[in-house]
Chains A and B, each alone.
Chain A
Amino acid sequence: MSIMLNAENVWFRYSQEGDWALKDISLQVEKGEFVAVLGSNGCGKSTLAKLFNAILLPEKGDIIVEGINTKEEEKLLDIRQKVGMVFQNPDNQIVATVVEEDVAFALENMGVPPREIRTRIDEAMQSAGIYKHREKGPHQLSGGQKQRVAIAGIIAMRPDCIVLDEPTAMLDPYGREAVINTVKKLNKEYGITVVLITHYMTEAAQADRIVVMTKGKIEKMGTPKEIFSQVEYMQSLALDVPQTSALAYEINKHGFNLSTEAISIDECAAQLYKFLEE
Chain B
Amino acid sequence: MLKDITIGQHFPGKSPVHNLDARLKIVITVLFVIVRFMSTNFPGLILSGVFVLAMYKLSGIPLKMLKKSIKPLMPLIVFTVILNLFFIKGETPLIKLGFVEIYPEAVMFIIVMISRILLLICGTSLLTYTTSTIALTDGLEALMKPLNKINFPVHEMAMMMTIALRFIPTLIEETEKIMNAQKSRGALLDSGSFSDKIKALVPILVPLFISAFRRAEELATAMECRCYHGGEGRTRLRQLKITNDDIRYTAVCMVTFAVILSMKLFFTRVI
Contact = CB atoms under 8 A, between A and B. Distances in A.
Interface of A: 50, 53, 55, 77, 80-81, 84-85, 87, 89, 91-98, 100-101, 104-114, 117-118, 121, 135-139, 150, 153-154, 157
Contacts of B12: 98, 135-136
Interface string B199-239: 00000000000000011001101111111110001111111
A96 B228 contact: no
Given A97-B10, A97-B132, A108 B236 contact: yes
B173 to A, nearest CB: 7
Nearest to A106: B226
Contact of B10 (A104, A109, A137): A137
Given A91-B215, A96-B134, A98-B134, A117 B226 contact: no
Contacts of B10: 97, 137
Given A95-B223, A100-B237, A118-B237, A109 B228 contact: yes
Given A55-B221, A92-B215, A95-B163, A101 B227 contact: no
B58 to A, nearest CB: 20
A111 B134 contact: no
Contact of B134 (A101, A138, A150): A101
B191 interface: no
A34 B268 CA distance: 78
A87 B217 CA distance: 12
Interface stretch (B78-86, B100-108, B164-172): B164-172
A247 to B, nearest CB: 38
B132 A89 contact: no
B6 interface: no
Contact of A108 (B163, B215, B219, B234): B234
Closest 7 CB pairs of A and B: A93-B222, A106-B226, A92-B218, A139-B169, A104-B237, A85-B225, A97-B133
A77 B22 CA distance: 31
Interface residues on B, range: 20 to 34
Contacts of A96: 134, 162, 166
A154 to B, nearest CB: 7
Nearest to A100: B237
Nearest to A80: B227
A109 B234 contact: yes
A139 B226 contact: no
Given A95-B162, A95-B166, A97-B162, A109 B229 contact: yes
Contacts of A101: 132, 134, 237-238
17 contacts: A50-B221, A55-B225, A77-B227, A85-B225, A97-B165, A101-B132, A104-B237, A106-B226, A109-B229, A111-B234, A114-B236, A117-B237, A118-B237, A121-B237, A137-B10, A137-B169, A154-B225
The majority secondary structure among interface residues of chain B is helix
Chain B CB within 10 Å, residue with most, of A53, A94, A118: A94
Given A77-B229, A101-B134, A157-B227, A112 B215 contact: no
Contacts of B163: 95
B20 to A, nearest CB: 17
Chain B CB within 10 Å, residue with most, of A80, A100, A113: A80
A137 B228 CA distance: 21
Nearest to B159: A95
A12 to B, nearest CB: 16
Interface in B110-135: 132-134
A110 B227 contact: yes
Contacts of B227: 77, 80-81, 106, 109-110, 157
